[in-house]
Amino acid sequence: MKMKQLTIALIAAGFGLALGAGFNRIDTHVLGTANAAVSPPAVVAPVAPTAAARLPDFTALVDRVGPAVVNISTVGTTKTTGFGDEFGPDNPFNEFFKRFGGPGFQVQPQVVPMRGEGSGFIVSPDGYIVTNAHVVDGASQVTVKLTDRREFTAKVVGADKRTDIALLKIAATNLPAVDLSNPPSVKPGQWVIAIGSPFGFENSVSAGIVSGVHRALPGGQMTPFIQTDVAVNPGNSGGPLVNAAGQVVGVNSQIYSRSGGFMGLSFAIPAKVAENVAQQLKAHGKVNHGRIGIGIQGLDQTLAESFGLPDSNGALVGSVEKGSPADKAGFKTGDIIRKIDNVAVTDSTDVTSRIGNMAPGKKIDVEIWRDRKPMTLTATVGSWGSKEQVASAGTSDASQGNKLGVAVRPLTPDEKREVGHDGLVVENSSGPAADAGIQPGDVIVRVGSTKVTTIEGLRHQIEKAGKNVALLIERNGHQIFVPVKVG
């Protein structure tokens, strides 16, 4: 049975864990002819280590960075379902009453204490500490323990859930600290170590390499995560990821696991993102994220070919918020963002993280691909609101025509008023359209950058599109481009 993959936030209630292991020694012998003389075993001379054969030694690195890493424990409350006082939470008949009920047996919410544990690291000698926002989320009391065993009650200066970074402050001076002011870049293959408190084991050290950069995870659209194979587990959250030079390159945040424990995939927030957020939290107690108000999705080769692109780098604009900075700058559905301030865009995560971490009011030049040629638009970055989009990434859905394998009809006047625009409703889907994920009820809005309102118009656009076509469809109020192979 295929197990569901889970993204696990690295914080857990503290508990003890004992491990034991044993092994048997097995002696091997070489079988020779009978009565053969037995020679004494040869002594193998030690081989002088070479630079290539020598394994990395992180002791000096840990001695330098380790004192700045702290253990964080939290106390809070959460609501749970239980019965009234007349039965008590430990009554053995609670499960029976939950299943079968009865007069007077009503389930009531109860407030129960909640404890958590995580990690963090000191970024200034006067007591500022960086950790994950989810480590202190909902906490009424936060306690920081240093490596010298001193404990302090910490104040949460601010927490930013969009990047999962929080800043704490303790009343102490002359503390060991790491420098986060000039974060280095990272590349796959580099050695890195993590220091933290997995399962409450304080200042545990694990090592590995950078497996990948610029990773997108659910719920982390403003964060281009660093992927490593460093063993991190619940309780490592908020601890530093450090390179071989002793520089903090990331903040350990999440694991990707089927079991709830480490399985070779751990993810860290880049130090550059953490430093930017920490500075804003220190100055203002909150973070002002940039936005321009577009919905975007990634490109694959089929979509890129349908728009006449030479490669699949960039992000496809699926929607433009009315009155947003993008709308005012002239962005249109079907544009493909190729560069921001003359720096190439690789994918949709690149756009969301770069714009999301820009300061509102900044003017940016965005090179787009429209009608099979490049052009540049200038936009002023706005600020994030409760209903506003920076540039939200989407996922795939569907499209039409005889070559497509769909039957369509125009929208009725009532349907037009409901969706707010014109289009064609898919009534049946088969062949290439069905393979692409198109379903009955989807509304085809555009073919490429061209609006379609009639069946004849759709057929015309499909005929001239070639073997690949990008269809903008709307489903459940969301629009997305879907690549369809018709050739």
In a domain, residue 453? The reply is yes
Res. 227: pLDDT tops 90: yes
Mean pLDDT of the chain: 80
Region class of 287: left (phi > 0), else alpha (psi between -120 and 50), else beta: beta
In a domain, residue 39? The reply is no
Q: How far apart are CA 151 and CA 225, in angstroms?
A: 31
Which span out of 45-54, 340-349, 475-484 was modeled with the highest average pLDDT?
340-349
Q: Are residues 254 and 308 in the same domain?
A: no
Q: For residue 37, give both structure tokens.
A: 């003389």
Q: Are residues 423 and 372 in the same domain?
A: no
Residue 478 falls in the annotated catalytic set: no
What is the average pLDDT across 380-406?
54
pLDDT above 70: percentage of residues in the chain: 77
Is residue 181 very low, low, confident or very high in pLDDT (cuts 50, 70, 90)?
confident
CB contact at 8 A, 302 and 483: yes
Q: How many domains does the chain have?
A: 4
In angstroms, what CA-CA distances link 180 with 103, 331, 483? 61, 36, 43
Q: What is the pLDDT of residues 425-454, one digit of tens each?
A: 887 777 788 878 888 888 898 888 888 888
Strand-pair category, 225-228 with 248-257: unpaired
Q: Are residues 276 and 294 in the same domain?
A: no
Residue 134 falls in the annotated catalytic set: yes
Q: What is the pLDDT of residues 318-370, one digit of tens each?
A: 888 888 899 999 999 999 999 999 999 988 888 988 898 888 889 999 999 99
In a domain, residue 62? The reply is no
What is the average pLDDT across 298-309?
88
Assign residue 412 the CATH number of its domain. Answer: 2.30.42.10
Q: Which residue has the higher pLDDT, 92 or 294?
A: 294
pLDDT at position 45? 56
Indicate which residue of 73, 134, 257, 347 is catalytic: 134
What is the average pLDDT across 204-217?
92
In a domain, residue 400? The reply is no
Res. 401: pLDDT tops 60: no
Q: What is the pLDDT of residues 160-174, one digit of tens each?
A: 998 999 999 999 999
pLDDT at position 125? 96
Q: How far apart are CA 464 and CA 401, in angstroms?
A: 12
Q: Are residues 411 and 448 in the same domain?
A: yes
Q: Are residues 269 and 304 in the same domain?
A: no
Q: Which residue has the higher pLDDT, 310 or 90?
A: 310
DSSP E strands in 363-477: the ranges are 363-370, 373-380, 382-383, 391-393, 406-410, 424-429, 443-447, 450-451, 468-475
463 membership: H or E segment, kind and range: helix 455-465
Indicate which residue of 197, 206, 237, 253 is catalytic: 237
pLDDT at position 346? 87
Within 10 angstroms of residue 267's Cβ, the number of other Cβ atoms is 24
Q: For residue 106, give both structure tokens.
A: 């009503």
pLDDT at position 484? 86
CB contact at 8 A, 314 and 337: yes
Q: Are residues 360 and 437 in the same domain?
A: no
Indicate which residue of 160, 164, 229, 442 is catalytic: 164
What is the domain extent for residue 213?
A: 191-284
Burial label for 410, CB within 10 Å (0-12, 13-18, 19+), is: middle
Burial label for 113, CB within 10 Å (0-12, 13-18, 19+), is: exposed
pLDDT at position 82? 52
Q: Are residues 338 and 353 in the same domain?
A: yes
Is residue 20 very low, low, confident or very high in pLDDT (cuts 50, 70, 90)?
very low
In a domain, residue 250? The reply is yes
What is the average pLDDT across 121-136?
96
Strand partners, 155: 169
In a domain, residue 37? The reply is no
pTM of the model: 0.66
Q: What is the pLDDT of residues 111-123, one digit of tens each?
A: 667 788 999 999 9
Q: Are residues 339 and 355 in the same domain?
A: yes
DSSP state of 198: G
Within 10 angstroms of residue 463's Cβ, the number of other Cβ atoms is 13
Res. 6: pLDDT tops 80: no
pLDDT at position 85? 44
DSSP E strands in 170-311: the ranges are 191-196, 204-215, 225-228, 240-243, 248-257, 266-270, 290-291, 294-298
Res. 238: pLDDT tops 50: yes
Residue 471 CA neighbour count, 13 Å, CB half: 36
pLDDT at position 44? 53
Q: Which residue has the tokens 């084991």?
A: 201
Q: Are residues 354 and 418 in the same domain?
A: no
CB contact at 8 A, 208 and 244: no
Q: Which of 234, 258, 284 is the last residue of a domain?
A: 284
Assign residue 263 the CATH number of its domain. Answer: 2.40.10.10
Region class of 483: left (phi > 0), else alpha (psi between -120 and 50), else beta: beta
In angstroms, what CA-CA distances link 277 with 5, 44, 166, 292, 293? 29, 56, 8, 19, 21
pLDDT at position 258? 79
DSSP 445-456: EEETTEE--SHH
In a domain, residue 381? The reply is yes
Res. 42: pLDDT tops 80: no
What is the average pLDDT across 55-77?
91
Res. 12: pLDDT tops 50: no
Q: Which of 341, 367, 393 is the last residue of a domain?
A: 393
Res. 185: pLDDT tops 80: yes
Strand-pair category, 468-475 with 450-451: unpaired
Q: Are residues 385 and 300 in the same domain?
A: yes
Residue count (the chain): 487
DSSP E strands in 36-164: the ranges are 69-82, 108-124, 128-131, 139-145, 151-160
Q: Are residues 88 and 165 in the same domain?
A: yes
Residue 421 falls in the annotated catalytic set: no
Res. 230: pLDDT tops 60: yes
In a domain, residue 80? The reply is yes
What is the average pLDDT across 479-486?
84
Query: ∠219-296-405 over CA atoms, to 5°?
Result: 110
Q: What is the pLDDT of residues 283-292, one digit of tens each?
A: 999 888 888 9
Strand partners, 294: 320, 391
- Radius of gyration of the chain from its Cα atoms, rounded to whole angstroms: 29
Q: Which of 393, 423, 446 is the last residue of a domain?
A: 393
Q: Are residues 337 and 419 in the same domain?
A: no
Q: How far apart are CA 485 and CA 304, in angstroms?
A: 12
